[in-house]
Amino acid sequence: MNDFITLYMKELRAQRMVIGVLLLGTLGLSIYALTGLGDVPQPRLALIILPYASALGLPFLLIHAISSEWSAQTHYQILALPVPRWLVLLSKVAVVLSLGVVIYLCSTVFLQVIADRMTAMMLAQDGSGDSFRIEPHMDGSTVWAVSGIVYGVLLLPLLGIACAASGVRVMAQRFKGLSTLGVFVAGAYLYGKLQIPIVHALEKIFGKWELDLPIHHGTATASDVHLLLMYSVLFAALGVGVGAVLFEKYVEA
């Protein structure tokens, strides 16, 4: 455990520049979204999700965290350490996940702020608009649950695929760009292909669950979103597992 923590802390410091950029990016996009709201209480959906966009950098951060050991020639040092190879990989995954959580937290805080401002604006006006808008009465926990689920469903599989791609890169040694692309394409395809059967299977185990989303003047029911999240977590775990196994088996200086 100590070894993992040491590796984790070192990785945090090693990637501090990229981490800083992504966090500043989140902050900047949040402020931009906030100011972009203007007086019109009809937010463009794009503004709301803008702060989360920094998370798109995370899969690349993971791949960079690994390849930078080679470009900086520190791979001799890290591979000579008395730790299992997969632990090295996991420590990097952990840093990326941590950053993902922080981006999520910051972005959702801003989302909450935006939602509250919209509520305030709509109460100030007499408000009714025809265009799509999120009902101002959506309570806080729903904001967090919805954004968390959407964030997780989108980000986790990407991270899993990025991890698997890292493993394939180490195995392939040549044509790294091509194999990375290949793994992402194959991963996305697999994610799509397995979604229905796996969610179905999970439904049998865990049962249905519905989330009521207040939309327009009523509510919409999002079914099985928790199962979708579960599937994404499982898929991500698979990707990480594949990456770790390949890394352990093939990595060498």
Helix axes 58-71, 85-124, angle to 10 degrees: 150
Q: How far is the CB of 10 from another protein (least distance, A)?
A: 6
The interface mask with another protein, positions 82-101, x = CB under 8 A, is: xxx-----------------
Q: How far is the CB of 86 from another protein (least distance, A)?
A: 11
Contacts of residue 84, defined as CB under 8 A and 6 or more positions apart, other chains included, come to 248
E-strand spans in the chain? Answer: 210-215, 218-223
Q: Which of 31, 40, 81, 188 binds another protein (CB under 8 A)?
A: 81
Q: How far is the CB of 59 from another protein (least distance, A)?
A: 23
Q: How far is the CB of 16 from another protein (least distance, A)?
A: 9
Q: How far is the CB of 88 from another protein (least distance, A)?
A: 11
The interface mask with another protein, positions 5-44, x = CB under 8 A, is: -x---x--xx------------------------------
Q: Is 245 in the site for another protein (CB under 8 A)?
A: no
Query: With respect to another protein, which residue has the nearer C-beta, 82 or 207?
Result: 82
**Sole window of 71-79, 159-167, 176-184, 185-193 interacting with another protein (rule: CB under 8 A):** 71-79
Query: With respect to another protein, which residue has the nearer C-beta, 6 or 219?
Result: 6
* Inter-residue contact 164 to 243 (CB < 8 Å): yes
Q: Is 175 in the site for another protein (CB under 8 A)?
A: no
Instruction: For residue 245, give the nearest of 180, 176, 172, 168 by alpha carbon.
Output: 168
Query: Whole-angstrom Cα distance, residue 240 to residue 1?
Result: 19
Work out the end-to-end distance of the chain between its first and last CA atoms, rounded to an integer number of angstroms: 25
Contacts of residue 114, defined as CB under 8 A and 6 or more positions apart, other chains included, come to 33, 34, 37, 43, 47, 48
CB count within 10 Å of CB 109 equals 14
Query: Whole-angstrom Cα distance, residue 4 to residue 81?
Result: 12
Q: Which of 20, 45, 77, 139 binds another protein (CB under 8 A)?
A: 77
Interacting residues with another protein (CB under 8 A): 2-3, 6, 10, 13-14, 72-77, 79-84, 252-253
